[in-house]
Chain A
Amino acid sequence: MANAIEIRALRKSFGRTTALDGLDLEVRAGEVHAFLGPNGAGKTTTIRILLGLLRKDAGQAELLGGDPWRDAVALHRRLAYVPGDVTLWPGLTGGEIIDLLGRLRGGLDPKRRQALTERFALDPAKKARAYSKGNRQKVALIAALASDAELLLLDEPTAGLDPLMEATFRDCVTEERQHGRTVLLSSHILAEAEALSDRVTIIRDGRTVETGTLAEMRHLTRDLVDAETAGPVRLDALPGVHDLVTDGLRVRCEVDHGALDEVLGRLHQAGVRTLTCRPPTLEELFLRHYSAERTGAGAPR
């Protein structure tokens, strides 16, 4: 099947600021693709070029087999978009805005609209000026999910949602994939990408630094272990342990999922005083793996 999105060497600058500096992105039809990067990496600029709101300076961008600038209106009938910062008209109610956006897109399924409104626990009779950030986000999400668009462009869609609604959102995205819809999910939260996506593209400073399935990026899914033990513990010879730092009775290291059991066993033998074990944040990954990219000095380990 053809790719839903194909971007090659995309460039865009605003005055003297370079937003995109040769970005590549390939989203296959029917997959959930996570588009990761720290704030200011160029995720929103990329999506706005895909929507035909911005004009690219150089490179190629193809969306659903068309040109996002030239064929904007025709392409927009086949996609739904949720902006990162949802701005609504203060005098209209959430229900009116959901219907309006649906009609502007060419129709929405009233039954799905009703079901989604209940699932996301949104009061559709409230004026938009009374909504919190999370509720504004829900309005845009319901409008997008209730459409029958084949492609969903979601720009940091869970930014204002509470954990319960985030879980609902994840369920919805999983269902959309089962129905064969393609999803581009921009985020700066790695855990969200891990939970939902088939493939991941990571960008920084307007450039793609890595793309592939998460299994191909094992080094991204290592856990960070930070422990204090009663006696000395030796971890340096273990396979799957990286970046070990020993400071007296305190050890810090990155551990592959497969080696976690062995590491915890040794810590237990030595007597655990304190222990934290968590996945690295995206910012930490960028600091460790890609800070050299900018100067071009080395490849990620």
Chain B
Amino acid sequence: MTVLAHPGRAGTGLTGTGVLATLAIRRDRIGLAAAVYVITAGVAGTAWTLKRLYPTPAGRAALAGTAGANPALRFLYGRLDGTSLGSITTWRYGVWAGLFAALVAIFVVIRHTRSDEEAGRLELAGSAAVGRQAPLVAALVTAAAGVGAVSVLLCAVLPLTGLPAAGSALLALGIGCCGLAFTGIAAVAAQLASAARAARGIALGVLGVAFVLRGVGDAAGASGPSWLSWASPLAWIQLARPFAASDPWVLALPLAVGAAGTGLAFALAAHRDQGAGLLPARPGRATASAALRGPFGLAWRLQRGALAGWAAGYAFIFAVCGAAAKGIGQLLGTSTALEREFTRLGGQAAITNAYLAALMLLAGLVAAAYAVSVIGRLRAEETGEAAEPVLATATGRVRWALSHIAVAAGGAALLLAVAGVAAGLGYGLRTGSAGTWVARMTGAALGQLPSAVVLAAVAIALFGLLPRASVGGAWTALGLVVVISLFGQALQLSHWILDLSPFTHAPRLPGGPVQAAPLLWLCAVALALSAAGLAGLRRRDIG
């Protein structure tokens, strides 16, 4: 059989990995670079700010005392290990940088494995001279390159802020290793489900469980189940104790998880068909329920899953952040610079109110992001051509658009209400006046609603008038508003720029005055922008 002896150039399961990895990195170059920059700048910026806020050992010791005594803060940030600047930086940002690195790993791995497979792109690539394992290896390489870049950059940048080099390296490696652990976990998730959404859900679920395990373990203190932290890859960053009694061997744990996950993923991938998952795809209803009626029923059906996820996240985060408000005054008081700033605002109660108001501003900004993403679905349906069969029925364009707009506005209102109730419960239960605070905080949160809706209305106007630029334009507008709202005063921007952000006109609650006029103006602007967008939609071509 001499003919079969040379079937062509020999190939292995890895043939083509280099080409696919280059393609993946090229497709991700902007997003991945931005994510790496944000994580690195976040850690380095935290170190820099803390150095300015807590210059003296006495101030840092006071901070350590307060942070150590507050279980809600331990839940959010982890355990504070020592009083050096490096320890405080690790406490304040270590867990969260690890969380962000894990998110990067999850999104990159799923995007280049299951998403491509579901869309049929891997089938096309796989028909070329590409080995069976090449796409998975290429995805792992891309994710590892991203989290590895974070580690390398932090190793280089952190010592520049004055932190010891050895501790900086251990913190940087810990964050990178956490990303690698979740690279392996995401690789397994990509094999389990046949839909990318479900695979992402599995991996994010593991990340959520890891956060809660670590949070409960860290909040528990010596008498409670503090061993729970050891079960969470997010805790291993602090358990390696950078800037304290360095235990670098702890980082073998995330590396082992990453390696085990990768091995398991390869084993699973070798035993399944292209396009199939290990979890069976469940059959659904053969007929539509009575609720799936009309464009509003459809929009609700398409968006309800995401809204439920957002609401759960809101409830959790704002309950914890609300609970952390108790004692926030003492915490801030440990920095003389901050204390000066805040006593100028009016003392203990004012500090708590300012913290809660800032929390509600965040809730408003994120609710605006949610609303913008919902409006973006309109354009996605239009270009994906799923809107065509709907618009070919007795559904007018305006009704079709209004169905998603209703979800955007109603969803933003729901999220803000959840944020208010959760923060009110979190703070109220700890101070023993839950009823008062739930009502107060719900009002404070809903005060942000008109501002969030104005941003959704900007997205609607762009969708109707400049459809091609609408998604990018809406997110750019949101980004500018976030920068103005969070950093505008620190950057000393002039008044007319600050006034451009709708959140500048929202009431600062709790504690601030409420005026009807700005809220009514915001509503009027939102209505005018939406009407302009819908008028544009009625006149333009679809597609």
Q: A: which residues have CB within 8 A of B? A: 48, 51-55, 72-74, 76-77, 79, 81, 83, 85-93, 95-101, 103-106, 123-127, 129-130, 140, 143, 153
Contacts and interface: CB of A to CB of B under 8 A. Distances in A.
A104 B285 contact: no
Contact of B285 (A48, A54, A95): A95
10 nearest interchain CB pairs? Answer: A99-B288, A104-B393, A93-B284, A81-B392, A125-B283, A95-B286, A96-B288, A53-B542, A105-B393, A124-B286
Contact of A53 (B284, B294, B541): B541
A167 B297 CA distance: 35
Given A51-B391, A127-B284, A140-B389, A104 B541 contact: no
Contact of B292 (A48, A96, A127): A96
A73 B395 contact: yes
A174 to B, nearest CB: 24
Contacts of B385: 83, 85, 87
Given A77-B394, A153-B392, 16 more contacts: A48-B542, A51-B388, A54-B542, A55-B540, A55-B541, A83-B389, A87-B386, A92-B301, A93-B283, A93-B284, A95-B288, A96-B288, A103-B288, A103-B293, A104-B393, A130-B194
A125 B395 contact: no
Interface in B389-436: 389-396
Given A54-B541, A87-B386, A106-B394, A126 B283 contact: yes
B377 to A, nearest CB: 11
A103 B388 CA distance: 16
Contacts of A53: 388, 391-392, 541-543
B298 interface: yes
Contacts of B2: none
A98 B285 CA distance: 12
B40 to A, nearest CB: 36
B511 interface: no
27 contacts: A52-B391, A53-B388, A53-B541, A53-B542, A73-B395, A73-B396, A83-B385, A85-B385, A89-B298, A91-B197, A92-B301, A95-B287, A96-B288, A96-B292, A98-B288, A100-B297, A100-B298, A101-B390, A101-B393, A103-B294, A104-B393, A104-B395, A106-B393, A123-B283, A124-B286, A129-B195, A130-B194
Interface in B190-209: 194-195, 197
A124 to B, nearest CB: 4
Contacts of B197: 91
Given A85-B385, A89-B386, A90-B195, A76 B284 contact: no
- Which of B293, B385, B390, B394 neighbours the largest number of chain A CB atoms within 10 Å of its CB? B394
Interface in B289-330: 289, 292-295, 297-298, 301-302, 305
Contacts of A125: 283-286
B388 to A, nearest CB: 6
B224 interface: no
Interface string B264-292: 00000000000000000101111111001
A97 to B, nearest CB: 8
A149 to B, nearest CB: 10
B384 interface: yes
Interface in B171-220: 194-195, 197
Given A87-B384, A89-B302, A104 B394 contact: yes
Interface of B: 118, 194-195, 197, 281, 283-289, 292-295, 297-298, 301-302, 305, 384-386, 388-396, 539-543
A92 B284 contact: yes
B284 A105 contact: no
A83 B393 CA distance: 12
A103 B194 CA distance: 30
A126 B389 contact: no
Given A54-B543, A124-B286, A99 B292 contact: yes
Contacts of A90: 195
B179 to A, nearest CB: 29
Nearest to A14: B541
Contacts of A88: 386
Nearest to B118: A129
A51 B25 CA distance: 42
A124 B384 CA distance: 22
Contacts of A86: 389
A104 B293 CA distance: 7
A98 B292 CA distance: 11
B287 A127 contact: no
Contacts of B298: 89, 100, 104
Contact of B294 (A54, A73, A104, A143): A104
A110 to B, nearest CB: 8
Contacts of B542: 48, 53-54
B304 to A, nearest CB: 10
Contacts of A95: 284-288
B380 to A, nearest CB: 11
A125 B391 CA distance: 25
Nearest to B397: A72
Contacts of A72: 391, 396
Contacts of A91: 197, 302, 305
B287 A96 contact: yes
A139 B528 CA distance: 40
B292 A100 contact: yes
Contacts of A127: 281, 283-284
A126 B392 contact: no
A130 B195 CA distance: 9
Contacts of B289: 96
Contacts of A100: 288, 292-293, 297-298
Contacts of B286: 93, 95, 124-125
Contacts of B393: 76, 101, 104-106
